[in-house]
Structure 1
């Protein structure tokens, strides 16, 4: 008998009016051809790589760092854990108590901040990870870290530089993490193979 498999979408919808980081140019998604007028439909996209649910590669903060296209497929999926840190603003190493993390794991932080996605406060007042926590994750050998907020840190983005220096990819603007607390699952976060510092990603959790 086949095991029941459930897929959970952890990505925000990509479309007109989607929020962008303060100072970034708004994303533009324009219908440039229609079936009625042209016999086919076509859209044109203009957007920075850091809109919506996306993944950061080392080039984002490291000169001559690796691009998204430099990573193997294996780097974008694996065993994952969600750590429930709701109600915390500075998320410290204490959040790892009783959490078993092995080398190659993907660790996601469920802050609940995605409820503000699309509102002004989403980018201004969001939870962050501490450097102590980041160092603990690096020591445990994770390959990817994610959060349901715009970033795991704030300007001048020290944790970005720390994670990316160790080839730990960063998933930002996640959603729907509440359904994954205390569950074992596989995460798939395959980006488009851009030769860039980041890329849009459809992030999916697979539960069995």
Structure 2
């Protein structure tokens, strides 16, 4: 892969304890343990779940025996970025999903999805990220409502195309109302990774960018908070 970089765009939210997280999990806590005044240098200790903020789901997260974060091949973490825009639908239908037709429409305009691509859903949901209630969009029954990939789209990408992973700007690869996590159970056990809570997808081109996934190499991890960059 040969890169001539003109633009670099960060796709990562700043992480703090107020950032929305999946119900039932505690957010990151940062504790200062060394200070300039007392110790001459500065250091913190983090206590955090693997799946908070902009983060990667390693295949192990839903695939027993699949790759943990440290086992994901480095070469799969640098790949072509394909951006699928569903933000106009999502504005009126929070349960909208990326469909096979969305993928085919992208291909009609830009050509076949590149081998080893990361296919990224842009729903505009990042605009809600400072409000955990709006980001989760939970109804009175406790069901969340936000966009994600459809099972059919995920299976198309796995069976008909050759991808490295998928990503979303919401809390989950599956749409919020999903009860079976069909997309997670399709994509991750196939040793493909997912990225959740992406930012700034509207600022990168739908085709032609390269994604860099800065995933910590923690042994046995099911994922981890990551720094994601797009360059083109």
Q: TM-score range by the shorter chain?
A: over 0.9
CA distance in 1, matches of 2:75, 2:68: 15
- C-alpha offsets along residues 84-131 of structure 1, whole Å, 9 cap, x if unaligned? 111241221111124220321111111101111132131232102111
Alignment counterpart, residue 167 of structure 2, candidates 134, 140, 146: 146
Contact 1:149–1:174 (CA under 8 A) maintained in structure 2: yes
In the alignment, structure 2 segments of 5+ residues that lack a partner are 91-95, 137-143
Structure 1: any 5+ residue segments left out of the alignment?
A: none
1:73 touches 1:190 (CA, 8 Å); kept in 2? no
**Which residue is equivalent to 2:113?**
101
> What residue is the counterpart of 2:153 in the other structure?
133
| TM-score normalised according to structure 1 size | 0.93
Aligned residues: 206
CA displacement 1:33-76 (0-9 Å, x = unmatched): 11012211110100000001111112111223210101121011
User: For the aligned residues, what is the CA RMSD?
Assistant: 1.7
3-state SS of the aligned residue for 2:226? Answer: strand
* Aligned position for 1:202: 227
- Residues 24 and 38 of structure 1: CA distance in aligned 2, closer, same or farther (over 3 Å): same
Give yes or no for the alignment of 1:121 onto 2:134. Answer: yes
* Alpha-carbon contact 2:17-2:27 (below 8 Å) kept: no
TM-score (norm 2): 0.83
Of 133-142 and 16-25, deviating more is: 16-25
**Residue of structure 1 in register with 2:47 after alignment:** 46
Which residue is 1:110 aligned to? 122
Structure 1 contact 105–144 (Cα < 8 Å) conserved? yes
Matches within 5 A, 1:73-84: 73-84=74-85
2:196 aligns with: 172
Moved more, 97-106 or 138-147: 97-106
For the residue of structure 2 that corresponds to 1:138, the secondary structure is helix
- C-alpha deviation, 1:155, in angstroms: 3.3
Cα deviation code 1:127-183 (max 9, x no counterpart): 021111111111201111011111121333111010012111101100000012434
